[in-house]
Structure 1
Amino acid sequence: MSKFAPLPPAPVIMTSFGHCGIGLGAEAYRRLLLDVGADPLKPTLKGEKDESRILKRYGSTILRFPNSYGGSEIPLIPRALLIDLDPRAANLILQSYPDLFALRDKHVISGAGGAARNWAEGRTRFIKEVSTKYDMQKQLASLSPEPVRGFTIPFAMGGGTGASFASAFMQYIKKDTKEHATIASFGLLPEFGWDPVILEASAINIVMNLEHQIKYSDCSILFSNKRLRELAQRHEKRLDKMSSIIDDLPKEHEVGWKDYRGMNLIAANAISMFIASFARETEWDMSNYRTWLATKRPRFAIPWVIPIIPEERQWSSDLMTGTKHNTMEGIVEHINKKEDAVLFDIDDNDVRDKGGPKDSCCALVKVKGDFEAKERETLKNMIKDRFHIEESRMIFIKIPILETEQANVTILVNTKAIGPKILEIASEAEASWDAFKDEYGKWGLTTEEFKASLMDVVHEFS
């Protein structure tokens, strides 16, 4: 290897919480590796060309361990921390991808069984079972000896463990450490009547989690399982042809994972584009998201992805180069074929009736060429047509595209139109509190604390 190999920028660590967060985080890392032509089952650098291409793009999200395998191969290890009260989810991922998650003891933090869909129990047990058992600072330092630039945090908002652990971790990073890191949270709202959540308790969990994102997350991105499930069903045949991290799990352990396979593939596509916006050589830093959302209400964004499903064979030799699959023309074609989607349960009427004049967006653009005036104008018109956002409130981030890589656009939209969906949940939480206050109270969540959190959420989304 060249002694002048490119140095990675300050590191970004993905901390995945709960069964959902671990599955989604692992899928997102797999997508990142596929995007640079690496093999997720045995990701290695095999020469200076590989080293330059991969490290200059994703050096902040991986670790290198020279001479670990012998010969000229250098393994790539994710800067990833998998945290759950139930150790089974993380253990399955580690067993199926032993070369990817090679630092077993450094990648996983676990407790002793789930939090019973109870945010208050999860928070208390995070403190008692996790933060006292593990030295969190040491755990993070083992994945990043250098000061951390940021944390990406995927989790489910309706359950007990993912929602509460993510809340406690965000608070820990902002209040109890000296890190000046940017936190980007990726919260999945459940689909009631489908996901295994309890309506009333889940509404309370979501309110508490939203309040922590308001306080401690610099860039909060919301997905909804309802919309992801609709899209996964609509594009089932295409998703079945794509490979997933779930495909490599032992068959007897697929239960509880395979129902979310297509949904995770779609969400991981958006998360990998978010990371590419600052991990590759762009003019944009992760901390810029903090400034973008600093004065906005609500300080939350929803992703609009084009295409919904990325091309799985983009690095194959049989995919002809020079075609429009990596150009803005290809993006427009996806729009025309209705192969784009907002990954949040919101329809056009919500946007027209409940959006606001200060709605804004951040467009992450990975296309071949210089993204000149014509291409920029095309995207501006698409955004205006869908979300009625003024040009002055649009930000465009050009992401370098690699070789035969497919064009991809992910637009993060900050809009008041998401408010009614959240306020419905907040109303359910308020109506349910009296029935659950004793159960939550014995785990340390008081009525006063809940009411204060509820008011913060209502204020934010009103």
Structure 2
Amino acid sequence: MSKLAPLPPAPVLMICFGHCGIGLGAESYRRLLLDVGADPLKPTLNSKDESRVLKRYGSTILRFSPSYGDGDIPLIPRALLVDLDPRAANLILQSYPDLFALRDQHVIHGAGGAARNWAEGKTRFLEEMKTKVDIKKQLSAISPEPVRGYVVPFAMGGGTGSSFSSAFIEYIKTNTKEHATIATFGLMPEFGWDPVIFEAAAINIVMNLEYQIKYSDCSILVSNKALRKLAHQHDKKLQKIPSIIDDLPKEHEVGWKDYKGMNLIAANTISMFISSFARETEWDMSNYRTWLATKKPKFAIPWIMPVSPSESQWGKDMLTSTKNNTMEDVLNKLGKKEDALLFDIDENDIRNNGSSRDSCCVLVKVKGEFDIKEREAIKRIIKDKFNIEESRMIFVKIPIMDGEQASIAVLVNTKAIGPKILEIAKEAEEAWDGYKDEYGRWGLSTEEFKQGLMDVVHQFS
């Protein structure tokens, strides 16, 4: 393949908002690089691997640079890191200088915080986009071609990530001519653990859900309560897996290291999602938009198996690694309880609050044909856990690279998440009078909040 070959068209961009979104996005890129046999600290591929990886991976997320010295082709992430606090983005840039080589193209930041106020963050983001940043130019810098889709990870309870993501997806859907698919990965906080103010966070979450209902095509919810429990449960294994956190300077670890295991688990899910349309599959990112278009609620929650994959064995022990990429290996992991739902909901919630119209999309990355016997085995497991009918299951087979570990991610659309969301909506409604003046100063009226609350309650009832 010639070094002068054109970049592949119709890319997908990851736009990471806030401290949480940036940590998740960076960890997800690290996972994607490992999966194709590249070193995140020196993200290059030898020429002999270039055509094979490009064919299999599609390079919609990562782009191959045509001019990077002799023999090595770097994988440049199509990512934009956005935060009001410059420290979060700068730490990632400093730790991965070769990965984010085009520094100015990969980051937007302002100064100060959004005070955990969704309205303030949204207003400030829109103002800065008009006065300080040409967002259209910024996006064109990392993607000269029309964008096929955006993957947007963020925390839903705070100020910056929650509100910036809302403003951004509204901008894309109302101010651009692109027919891009937007996929959001919103993390629900664990009250009492995460540094969020309970009442204000409930209001922020309601408004963020409202904007996802309006502007996101594929809305995926993950909860920090579930991630924290899993990170503790699998701590020994997760501590052995290198993370982007390990490469941060020691003096900057505070605020990041406590989320290492949680980020690794979430990044595993995000990378599986990206692989479902970035490799040679019959599934396009826009299919997610079609799949969720008639669903209610318009939200999915991920079930991942195994919880966290082993590190890539590229160039180390290929024989061992290739033994871990079959359906048999996945089923063994399930037998050892190395699977988990990444949302704060248990089987009783699912059984009592599910619906006959619940559905799921099953992303399967295993070696082999994924034959009828294997498919039936997964169907039985899903039906037993979620009571979803076979006709409402979609299976997407993802090509697996030689050094990867087999894994499955199930995106479940179920009404069983409704009670959890409605509890937060009730708290937001009760708290509004105490916060309406503070939010009103930044443009969120009582009428707009009440409308958002009604839409969320209607969506999840």
- Classify 1:135/1:459 alpha carbon distance in 2 versus 1 (closer, same or farther; 3 Å): same
Deviation by residue 1:224-259 (Cα, 9 ceiling, x = unmatched)? 000000000000000000000010000000000001
Show the counterpart of 2:2.
Answer: 2
Q: How far is 1:319 from its partner?
A: 4.7
1:167 and 2:166 correspond? yes
Deviation by residue 1:158-179 (Cα, 9 ceiling, x = unmatched)? 0000000000000000001001
Letter of the 2:42 partner, please give it.
Answer: K
Task: Work out whether residues 81 and 109 of structure 1, in 8 Å CA contact, stay in contact via their aligned partners in 2.
Answer: yes
Show the counterpart of 2:67.
Answer: 67
Task: Work out whether residues 58 and 280 of structure 2, in 8 Å CA contact, stay in contact via their aligned partners in 1.
Answer: no
Task: Work out whether residues 181 and 285 of structure 2, in 8 Å CA contact, stay in contact via their aligned partners in 1.
Answer: yes
Q: What is the identity percentage for the equivalent residue pairs of Structure 1 and Structure 2?
A: 72
- Distance in 1 of aligned mates of 2:149 and 2:383: 31
Task: Work out whether residues 190 and 223 of structure 2, in 8 Å CA contact, stay in contact via their aligned partners in 1.
Answer: yes
Q: How far is 1:77 from its partner?
A: 1.0
Deviation by residue 1:306-361 (Cα, 9 ceiling, x = unmatched)? 00010114325325258652111111111110000000000000000000000000
Letter of the 1:180 partner, please give it.
Answer: H
Letter of the 1:52 partner, please give it.
Answer: R
Deviation by residue 1:47-91 (Cα, 9 ceiling, x = unmatched)? 0423431464051112333223x2232322100000011111000
Show the counterpart of 1:20.
Answer: 20
- Distance in 1 of aligned mates of 2:48 and 2:37: 15
- Distance in 2 of aligned mates of 1:136 and 1:6: 25
1:32 and 2:64 correspond? no
Task: Work out whether residues 38 and 44 of structure 1, in 8 Å CA contact, stay in contact via their aligned partners in 2.
Answer: yes
- Distance in 1 of aligned mates of 2:337 and 2:14: 31
- Classify 1:284/1:251 alpha carbon distance in 2 versus 1 (closer, same or farther; 3 Å): same
Q: How far is 1:130 from its partner?
A: 3.4
1:57 and 2:57 correspond? yes
**Superposed counterparts of 1:375-394, under 5 Å:** 375-394=374-393
- Distance in 1 of aligned mates of 2:373 and 2:385: 19
**Superposed counterparts of 1:56-455, under 5 Å:** 56-68=56-68, 70-321=69-320, 324-455=323-454
- Distance in 1 of aligned mates of 2:130 and 2:259: 30
- Classify 1:146/1:234 alpha carbon distance in 2 versus 1 (closer, same or farther; 3 Å): same
Q: How far is 1:3 from its partner?
A: 6.2
- Distance in 2 of aligned mates of 1:452 and 1:86: 31
- Distance in 2 of aligned mates of 1:222 and 1:300: 7
Deviation by residue 1:391-416 (Cα, 9 ceiling, x = unmatched)? 00000000011113111100000000
Q: What SS does structure 1 have at the residue aligned with 2:324?
A: helix
- Distance in 2 of aligned mates of 1:38 and 1:419: 41
Q: What SS does structure 1 have at the residue aligned with 2:191?
A: coil
Task: Work out whether residues 12 and 60 of structure 1, in 8 Å CA contact, stay in contact via their aligned partners in 2.
Answer: yes
Task: Work out whether residues 63 and 143 of structure 1, in 8 Å CA contact, stay in contact via their aligned partners in 2.
Answer: no
Deviation by residue 1:283-322 (Cα, 9 ceiling, x = unmatched)? 0000000000001100100000000010114325325258
- Classify 1:55/1:20 alpha carbon distance in 2 versus 1 (closer, same or farther; 3 Å): farther
Task: Work out whether residues 35 and 403 of structure 2, in 8 Å CA contact, stay in contact via their aligned partners in 1.
Answer: no
Q: What SS does structure 2 have at the residue aligned with 1:16?
A: strand
- Distance in 1 of aligned mates of 2:55 and 2:97: 21
Gapped regions of structure 1 (runs ≥ 5) = none
**TM-score computed with the length of structure 1 as normaliser:** 0.97
Show the counterpart of 2:460.
Answer: 461
Q: What SS does structure 2 have at the residue aligned with 1:412?
A: strand
- Classify 1:3/1:65 alpha carbon distance in 2 versus 1 (closer, same or farther; 3 Å): closer
Task: Work out whether residues 314 and 406 of structure 1, in 8 Å CA contact, stay in contact via their aligned partners in 2.
Answer: no
Letter of the 1:405 partner, please give it.
Answer: E
Letter of the 2:41 partner, please give it.
Answer: L
Q: How far is 1:132 from its partner?
A: 2.5
Post-superposition, which runs of at least 4 consecutive aligned residues in structure 1 deviate over 6 A?
Answer: none
- Classify 1:287/1:311 alpha carbon distance in 2 versus 1 (closer, same or farther; 3 Å): same
Letter of the 2:264 partner, please give it.
Answer: L
- Distance in 1 of aligned mates of 2:333 and 2:6: 35
- Distance in 2 of aligned mates of 1:117 and 1:131: 22
Task: Work out whether residues 203 and 426 of structure 1, in 8 Å CA contact, stay in contact via their aligned partners in 2.
Answer: yes
Letter of the 1:20 partner, please give it.
Answer: C
Letter of the 2:104 partner, please give it.
Answer: D
Task: Work out whether residues 111 and 130 of structure 1, in 8 Å CA contact, stay in contact via their aligned partners in 2.
Answer: no
Task: Work out whether residues 221 and 303 of structure 1, in 8 Å CA contact, stay in contact via their aligned partners in 2.
Answer: yes
Deviation by residue 1:195-219 (Cα, 9 ceiling, x = unmatched)? 0000000000000000000000000
Aligned pair count? Answer: 461
**TM-score computed with the length of structure 2 as normaliser:** 0.98
Letter of the 1:369 partner, please give it.
Answer: G
Deviation by residue 1:440-462 (Cα, 9 ceiling, x = unmatched)? 01111100000000000000000
- Classify 1:373/1:202 alpha carbon distance in 2 versus 1 (closer, same or farther; 3 Å): same
Deviation by residue 1:419-447 (Cα, 9 ceiling, x = unmatched)? 00000000000000000001101111100
- Structure 1 residues 314-323 or 113-122, which shifts more? 314-323
Gapped regions of structure 2 (runs ≥ 5) = none
- Classify 1:136/1:55 alpha carbon distance in 2 versus 1 (closer, same or farther; 3 Å): farther
Letter of the 1:296 partner, please give it.
Answer: K
- Classify 1:173/1:54 alpha carbon distance in 2 versus 1 (closer, same or farther; 3 Å): same
Task: Work out whether residues 214 and 299 of structure 1, in 8 Å CA contact, stay in contact via their aligned partners in 2.
Answer: yes
Task: Work out whether residues 67 and 73 of structure 1, in 8 Å CA contact, stay in contact via their aligned partners in 2.
Answer: no
